């Protein structure tokens, strides 16, 4: 019966489109690569082009593997590829202003986790907590840090006072580094928020990061371990 139910879940009904498999482990690797790349590379047109390309690829991977129907998945994927080509070529050639690239990066920072949540919900409803679900949840954690990095960069651009006490003009690498130091409550102290708004954002990011780890990740890992134990006992 279990095998029949699994077959019914995975196979498309007559007249329906085929669906893609969940591959959130790939999205996790792309996001981790983006994170490390942004921190270690210098600020240049080529590095910004590669960084935004990795963001587009992460969104493409989410759309392509989140079990959306072909009629939805294919047009969205084509649109993503076209926009990615435009953005990467434009930035590599120096044809995009900082404001446009910043807006694109912010849009992607929000779009990737939103698309990921939808895919995760479909995966958990269909198959319960699997390794791919845990990988997707961990990816969302990384994306939270990138979203806050974008928010910090936005606040630093629009406010008149320096965002950090240690430097008046922080690089993208420093902003991302600071965001993840806050998210993980590491607190090295080499970069600290100098304004009330910056400190408030840091508090919110710290709380969200810790609550997410002890609730969402904790529950998912606990359920996955319980399911694995039950399968082992049944075998």
Tell me what pLDDT residue 212 has.
94
Above 70 in pLDDT, residue 228? Answer: no
CB 173 within 8 A of CB 38: yes
At 142, is the pLDDT very low, low, confident or very high (cuts 50, 70, 90)? very high
Q: Which residues contact 90 (CB under 8 A, 6 or more apart)?
A: 96
73, pLDDT greater than 80: no
Confidence of residue 32 (pLDDT cuts 50, 70, 90): very high
CB 110 within 8 A of CB 147: yes
Torsion of CA 108, 114, 171, 84, to 10 degrees: -20
Q: Sign (positive/negative) of CA torsion 73, 76, 80, 86?
A: positive
Q: Is residue 231 part of a domain?
A: no
pLDDT at position 3, please?
A: 40
Decide if 230 is inside a domain.
Answer: no
Q: What confidence category does residue 15 fall into, taking pLDDT thresholds of 50, 70 and 90?
A: very low
Within-domain flag for 166 = yes
Secondary structure (3-state) at 79: helix
Question: Residue 235: its pLDDT value, please?
Answer: 65
Measured between alpha carbons, how far is 143 from 109 in angstroms, rounded to an integer? Answer: 7
Q: What's the chain's average pLDDT?
A: 83
User: Which tokens go with 113?
Assistant: 């986790």
Q: pLDDT tens digits for 89-100?
A: 888 887 788 888
Q: Is the pLDDT of residue 196 over 80?
A: yes
For the cut 50, the answer to whether the pLDDT of residue 2 exceeds it is: no
What total number of domains does the chain contain? Answer: 1
The 3-class secondary structure across 110-128, one letter per residue, is HHHHHHHHHHHHHHHHHHC
Tokens 């959306």 map to which residue? Answer: 68
Question: Rounded mean pLDDT of 17-28?
Answer: 69
Is 155 within a domain?
Answer: yes
Helix (H, G, I), strand (E, B) or coil at 159: coil
Within a domain: residue 160? yes
Say whether pLDDT at 213 is over 80.
Answer: yes
Q: Which residues span the domain enclosing 169?
A: 2-225
Dist CA 73 CA 232 (whole Å)? 36
Residue 215 lies in a domain: yes
Tokens 């969302």 belong to 140
Q: Residue 38: name the closest of 28, 53, 48 by CA.
A: 48
**Is residue 125 in some structural domain?**
yes
Query: Which percentage of the chain shows pLDDT scores above 70?
Result: 83
Q: How many CB atoms lie within 10 A of CB 162?
A: 16
Task: Please classify residue 36 by burial: count the beta carbons closer than 10 Å to its beta carbon, then call 0-12 exposed, 13-18 middle and 19+ buried.
Answer: exposed
19 is a domain residue: yes
Judged against a pLDDT cut of 50, whether residue 113 lies above it is answered with: yes
- Identify which of 40-54, 111-125, 163-177, 219-233 has the greatest average pLDDT: 163-177
């Amino acid at each position: 019966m279990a095998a029949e139910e699994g077959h019914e879940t995975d196979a498309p009904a007559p007249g329906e489109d085929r669906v893609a498999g969940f591959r959130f482990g790939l999205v996790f690797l792309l996001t981790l690569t983006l994170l490390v790349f942004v921190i270690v590379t210098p600020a240049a047109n080529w590095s910004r082009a590669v960084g935004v390309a990795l963001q587009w690829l992460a969104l493409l991977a989410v759309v392509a593997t989140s079990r959306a129907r072909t009629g939805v998945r294919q047009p969205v994927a084509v649109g993503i590829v076209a926009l990615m080509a435009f953005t990467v070529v434009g930035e590599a050639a120096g044809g995009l202003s900082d404001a446009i690239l910043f807006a694109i990066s912010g849009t992607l920072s929000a779009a990737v986790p939103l698309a990921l949540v939808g895919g995760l919900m479909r995966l958990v409803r269909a198959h319960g907590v699997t390794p791919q679900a845990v990988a997707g949840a961990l990816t969302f954690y990384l994306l939270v840090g990138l979203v806050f990095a974008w928010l910090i960069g936005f606040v630093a651009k629009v406010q008149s006072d320096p965002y950090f006490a240690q430097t008046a003009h922080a690089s993208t690498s420093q902003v991302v580094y600071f965001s993840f130091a806050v998210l993980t409550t590491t607190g090295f102290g080499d970069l600290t928020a100098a304004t009330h708004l910056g400190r408030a954002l840091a508090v919110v990011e710290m709380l969200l990061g810790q609550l997410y780890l002890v609730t969402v990740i904790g529950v998912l890992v606990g359920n996955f371990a319980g399911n694995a134990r039950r399968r082992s006992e049944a075998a």
